[in-house]
A = this chain, B = another copy of it.
Amino acid sequence: MIVEIVTTGTELLLGQIINTNAPYLAQRLNELGFNVLFQSTVGDNRERMAQVLTTALSRADIVITSGGLGPTQGDITKEVTAGLLNLPMHVHEPSVRRIELFFEKRAAIMPSNNLRQAMMAKGAIVLDNDRGTAPGAILETGDKTIIHLPGPPYELEGMFEAAVVPYLQQRFGLQGIILSRVLKTFEIGESSLEDEIKDLIIAQTNPTIALLAQSSEVLIRITAKGESKEAALASIDSIERKIRERLGDKIFAVDEETMESVVGKMLTAKQLTIACAESCTGGLLTSRITDVPGSSDYLLGSVVCYSNEIKVAAVKVGADILAEHGAVSEETAKAMCKGIRQQFNTDIGLGTTGIAGPGGATTEKPVGLVYIAVDGPAGTKCYKNEFSGSREKIKYRTTQTALNILRKYIGTL
């Protein structure tokens, strides 16, 4: 089955937003065994959208659109499709009630515009939206299928997984089952990783192994086709074991796990508490730790000590240390993690200090220089790092590295 993805929206044509829906859909559809051969983007213009959809229907079996299901006059995807197929539109009552409920839950009144979102072409299979107000729709016409999904990625992804995947599996009798598992690696670049497991990648046809570089980690996606769920899982398990033999603890998480959730599990299992003294990360490290539900069991609190006065007053860093070595130094980082551990009476203290930029650099201390220190039952350790990128990237990379240092430290306890 040939698929064309049609993303709509003037903001895409103007280049104001990056299109992440097309790669998401493309990747998932390929995993499910569909061939995505074309992707098109068109604005919120009736004539040109009709033209693009007509071309798509002439060369693909399945056309998936994203965007244009909102409440405004510019949201025209469903109308244009109904026009092309000569289908009348009607109000879909269950969708009206779902949208009303969405607003009720937020103690708000539904603006009348939102009724547009419940308008459906005759015969449409309506797809509920658990993450927003715009329902999606599937239209079957002869041997062609058109699937309308909302534009916001969070809504599109939720609807695709919950409603479209089961529909495609049933409609096209996908034989067998396709399952994926993602192994997340840290401390290794994409080409080195490829070198490490190239023979496995080349030798494998089922499961397949694919690499995907992200901003501070490389993902390994294992995708298996099996006659049953058990068979697919068994073949994923088998190849995962081989990969783990090569990479060891460079793999830090699986699937939905994150660095912070893995660290949280370890802290919980060992019944340890933690506090952070953050300078250059400005609260981001603690924010990531507290993104994990239940983190109040181990994270007691933190101090963001941006000014030297607060490093001294709230974290008890010695004024002499700051005077002698400066705020960005191994000595200060160590004093920060020891000080916060003592002040907040936790098992572990974690400290970050560095130059996030763009200002504040000197010849000896360039932008990106960051010290990360940890103090706990296994003593004090400090790591010097030189990160590159924007201020926000340097903050993020510092937190990812700090959490990884913490992961390895807890592993030794």
Contact = CB atoms under 8 A, between A and B. Distances in A.
Nearest to A36: B13
A83 interface: no
Interface in A1-59: 10-20, 22-28, 30, 36-45, 48, 51-52, 55, 59
Contacts of A28: 15
Contacts of A309: 300
A51 B58 CA distance: 12
A16 B210 contact: yes
Nearest to A20: B18
A212 to B, nearest CB: 6
A38 B9 CA distance: 11
A28 to B, nearest CB: 8
A73 B358 CA distance: 37
Contact of A52 (B38, B202, B289, B344): B38
A359 interface: yes
Given A11-B221, A25-B15, A114-B191, A40 B40 contact: yes
Interface stretch (A102-110, A161-169, A318-326, A401-409): A102-110
Given A16-B212, A287-B395, A303-B304, 16 more contacts: A13-B36, A14-B27, A15-B22, A15-B36, A16-B221, A18-B20, A18-B23, A22-B41, A51-B59, A113-B191, A152-B213, A283-B287, A291-B392, A299-B306, A301-B305, A301-B307
Contacts of A190: 70-72
A387 B130 CA distance: 16
A302 interface: yes
Interface residues of A, number: 107
Interface string A189-222: 1111011000001100000001111010000010
A27 B15 contact: yes
* Tally of this chain's copies: 2
Interface in A244-283: 276, 278, 281-283
Tell which of A42, A48, A106, A189 has the most Cβ of chain B within 10 Å: A189
A145 interface: no
Nearest to A117: B191
Nearest to A282: B290
Given A38-B52, A301-B306, A19 B13 contact: no
Interface string A330-367: 00000000000001100000000000111110000000
Contact of A15 (B24, B303, B304): B24
The majority secondary structure among interface residues of chain A is mixed
Nearest to A286: B283
A182 to B, nearest CB: 8
A311 B154 CA distance: 35
B51 A43 contact: no
Contacts of A215: 152, 154
B301 A304 contact: yes
B290 A304 contact: yes
A68 to B, nearest CB: 12
A359 to B, nearest CB: 6
A88 B47 CA distance: 37
A38 B30 contact: no
Contact of A111 (B195, B302, B356): B195
25 contacts: A10-B210, A11-B210, A11-B212, A12-B23, A14-B30, A15-B22, A15-B24, A15-B25, A16-B23, A18-B18, A38-B41, A71-B191, A112-B191, A152-B215, A282-B299, A283-B286, A283-B290, A283-B302, A290-B304, A293-B358, A300-B310, A301-B304, A301-B306, A314-B314, A314-B343
Nearest to A105: B388
A98 interface: no
Given A70-B190, A72-B190, A302-B304, A223 B282 contact: no
